[in-house]
Chains A and B, each alone.
Chain A
Amino acid sequence: MSHSQDRPGFWTRLSNPGQFLIWSRPLVVPLVVVTAAVFLVGLWFALVNSPEDYQMGDTVRIMYIHVPTAWLSQFVYAVMAVSAIGTLVWRHPMADVSMKAAAPLGATFTALALYTGSLWGRPTWGTFWEWDGRMTSTLVLLLIYLGIIALWRAFEDPLRGARMVAILTLVGAINIPIVKFSVDWWATLHQPASVLRADGPTMPGSILTPLLIMFGAFTLLFIVLHLVGMRTEVRRRRIASLERRLAQRGA
Chain B
Amino acid sequence: MAFDLGPHAVFIIAAYLGVATVVAALIGYRTFEARSVSRRLSLLEEASGRKRAQ
Contact = CB atoms under 8 A, between A and B. Distances in A.
> So, do A and B actually touch in the complex, CB under 8 Å?
yes
Given A58-B6, A105-B26, A65 B11 contact: no
A228 B9 contact: no
A123 B8 CA distance: 7
Interface residues of A, number: 36
A231 interface: yes
B40 A239 contact: yes
B41 A65 contact: no
Contact of A62 (B7, B12, B37): B12
B44 A242 contact: yes
Contacts of B38: 232, 235
B15 A116 contact: yes
A238 B37 CA distance: 10
A91 interface: no
Nearest to B20: A65
- State the majority secondary structure of interface residues on B: helix
A232 B12 contact: no
A112 B14 CA distance: 12
A249 B7 CA distance: 69
Nearest to B27: A225
A246 B34 contact: no
Interface residues of B, number: 30
A61 interface: yes
Nearest to B51: A249
A239 B11 contact: no
A58 B9 contact: yes
Interface of A: 47-48, 52, 57-59, 61-62, 65-66, 69, 105, 108, 111-112, 115-116, 119-120, 122-123, 221, 225, 228-229, 231-232, 235-236, 238-239, 242-243, 245-246, 249
7 contacts: A57-B6, A61-B16, A105-B26, A111-B22, A115-B19, A122-B11, A242-B41
The list of the 7 closest CB pairs from A to B, nearest first, reads: A58-B6, A123-B8, A119-B15, A232-B34, A62-B15, A119-B11, A242-B44
Given A47-B3, A61-B16, A242-B44, 8 more contacts: A57-B7, A58-B6, A58-B8, A115-B19, A235-B38, A239-B37, A243-B44, A246-B44
